[in-house]
């Protein structure tokens, strides 16, 4: 996986209280991490930025910030590392340029096979009908 150098000025970490199990300790500590990344400060190329906007459109707010929440661990440090790894994975996914599809047309042999198969099905179903006595 490709790693990206993320500018620290583009990132903002917020530590909030996590939901879920954890006993009384969960009500006293803020272990969940909310990573906010200002995308225009990352210095990505327009194509990568466009793909990132389409792939992560539900995580990007109107101010152009990518929001990643991590609360799977009970440690702030582990959650921070998890959020950074998810950011790296998102950037790596957006970096890959998809292959352009080249439209193709079926060949003559494929058309003939399709038509002969249709005729066989038609004959099979016609044989099931009652004969007409005209």
pLDDT tens sequence across 66-117: 999 988 888 889 999 999 999 989 999 998 998 999 999 999 999 999 999 9
Beta bridge partners of 83: none
Compare 18 and 124 and report the one with higher pLDDT.
124
Domain ranges in the chain are 9-95
Cα within 13 Å of Cα(110), Cβ side: 4
Q: At how many degrees (to 10) do helices 76-95 and 46-55 cross?
A: 120
User: What is the full DSSP assignment across 70-108?
Assistant: E-SSSSHHHHHHHHHHHHHHHHHHHHSPPPPP------H
- Which CATH entry fits the domain spanning 9-95: 3.30.160.20, 3.30.530.20, 3.40.50.800, 3.30.70.920? 3.30.160.20
The pTM (predicted TM-score) of the whole model is 0.67
Residue from 109, 68, 59 nearest 87 by CA: 68
Average pLDDT, the chain: 87
Q: Which two tokens stand for residue 112?
A: 């003939």
Beta bridge partners of 34: 14, 69
Per the listing, tokens 């969960």 go with 26
**pLDDT of 128:** 93
E strands, the chain, are 11-16, 32-38, 65-70
């Amino acid at each position: 996986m490709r790693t990206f150098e993320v500018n620290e000025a583009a990132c903002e970490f917020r530590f909030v209280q996590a939901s879920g199990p954890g006993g009384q300790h969960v009500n006293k500590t803020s272990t969940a991490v909310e990573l906010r990344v200002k995308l225009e400060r990352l210095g990505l190329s327009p194509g990568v930025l466009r793909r990132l906007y389409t792939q992560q459109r539900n995580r990007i707010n109107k101010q152009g910030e990518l929001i990643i929440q991590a609360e799977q661990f009970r440690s702030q440090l582990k959650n921070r590392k998890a959020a950074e790894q998810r950011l790296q994975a998102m950037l790596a996914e957006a970096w890959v340029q998809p292959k352009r599809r080249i439209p193709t047309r079926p060949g003559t042999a494929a058309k003939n096979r399709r038509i002969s198969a249709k005729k066989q099905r038609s004959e099979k179903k016609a044989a099931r009908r009652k004969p007409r006595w005209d």
